[in-house]
Chains A and B, each alone.
Chain A
């Protein structure tokens, strides 16, 4: 059974967001990582890239397939999790601490389009 962490916001495409001031810390949900299976590579953007809400910013690669990542917010990429370059399996092991990118958010009002933990749990049937 997939876990859904309280206190985070979730997108339809299974990314989670934790807000830290104006910065959105973004990863993928336990449901997403379990659907993917063993993750072998994380394709991340460059720091300084600007993203629009819903735009793809990279991908997770499992043995079998690629799965694109979509930004839950608009903004500028200020950090990528370098740890995932050497240890992409961290996403399988602990999806809620293995963040992927940090984005300085341009419009916090966009957060209202995301789901609460309860709404996301209902969506995935957790």
Chain B
């Protein structure tokens, strides 16, 4: 068995008594005080996550903008420094290599900072290298050099200023960032997140990441694990690669076409997406709300009243904020209209529900 990787904060997780579990090849904290407690802290006040397992890839050189546009679904033409874009990298058939954030850094010549899923770092970097022919660029996998924490929740801006002494947060709108220095080390301060709340993601050196984390936790900011990271992103209607996006689930099927700019210069997978948008897809990702409290889980069958299977659950929870049993499911497009009655088979019984919008929780971002 391959040994698990650890983040710069691993010792702190153990000292805090976190429940640890392997995730994407890393030994990661699932929870500290409990998923419910941590989830509610982020919705109500603030919490801090170690997300140092995420991958960071830097792309610079005269061809950087053209290259990123070639591999990325969103449009980076003329993108200003300080802006963040969400989108995907696709295979030619429209399947997803990964979903990621693209940062246009504050450099005279366009250079980009790409944040990818931990489980996909090697695959993504290989994919970029394989498609870099003809572009005058330098590609660097810098995942080991960057640590990352996410400070999330309505009090994040106040905590950032009062606890860390970082005043630049107030000037940032959602999906923008600044590059500053914090106690002598470079810091990327980004108003982004994966919770549906206002918040920041802070990329820095491993040693600064340790100091930022310790300062926040010592000041009483609640440490939060991957358990509530998943419940939070789920309520906010955000996809998780491997569940709602994958090699066989395209952004059109997942309802994420808004992040795919078909009118920009050609990119890998564009043709396939154009066909999918024009003709529709056999399956679509939907939200389902059940009438009872039984909990739908990934892999459970989705059925019609007569028991015919029409889909499968991709993620499901009893929502902590909304107190409802909810799931995302990939279903036949004929059953995807809002209000369509659908049943989820849970152990011995089928439970009735209906199709609802996927953004279950109303997000609270800084406009």
Contacts and interface: CB of A to CB of B under 8 A. Distances in A.
A63 B297 contact: no
Contacts, number: 39
Interface in A83-98: none
Nearest to B297: A66
B84 to A, nearest CB: 30
B30 A64 contact: yes
Interface stretch (A1-9, A14-22, A34-42): A34-42
Contacts of A37: 19, 31, 34-35
A65 B318 CA distance: 10
Main secondary structure of the interface of B (DSSP, over half): mixed
B295 A40 contact: yes
Given A40-B295, A41-B293, A43-B347, A64 B35 contact: yes
B262 interface: no
B317 A41 contact: no
Given A43-B294, A66-B295, A61 B318 contact: yes
Query: Interface size bucket, A side?
Result: 10 to 19
B350 to A, nearest CB: 13
Interface string A53-80: 0001011011111101000000000000
B294 A63 contact: no
Contacts of B295: 40-41, 61, 66
Interface string B8-50: 0000000000010000000000110011100100000000000
Given A41-B318, A43-B347, A63 B293 contact: no
Given A40-B318, A41-B294, 9 more contacts: A37-B31, A38-B35, A43-B346, A56-B347, A58-B347, A63-B317, A64-B30, A64-B227, A66-B295
Interface of B: 19, 30-31, 34-36, 39, 227, 231, 293-295, 297, 317-318, 320, 346-347
Which 8 A-B residue pairings sit nearest by Cβ, starting from the closest? Answer: A63-B35, A61-B295, A38-B36, A40-B318, A41-B293, A38-B34, A64-B227, A41-B295
Interface of A: 37-38, 40-41, 43, 56, 58-59, 61-66, 68
29 contacts: A37-B19, A37-B31, A38-B34, A38-B35, A38-B36, A40-B293, A40-B295, A40-B318, A41-B293, A41-B294, A41-B295, A41-B318, A43-B346, A43-B347, A56-B347, A58-B347, A61-B295, A61-B318, A62-B35, A63-B36, A63-B39, A63-B227, A63-B231, A63-B317, A64-B30, A64-B35, A65-B297, A66-B297, A68-B347
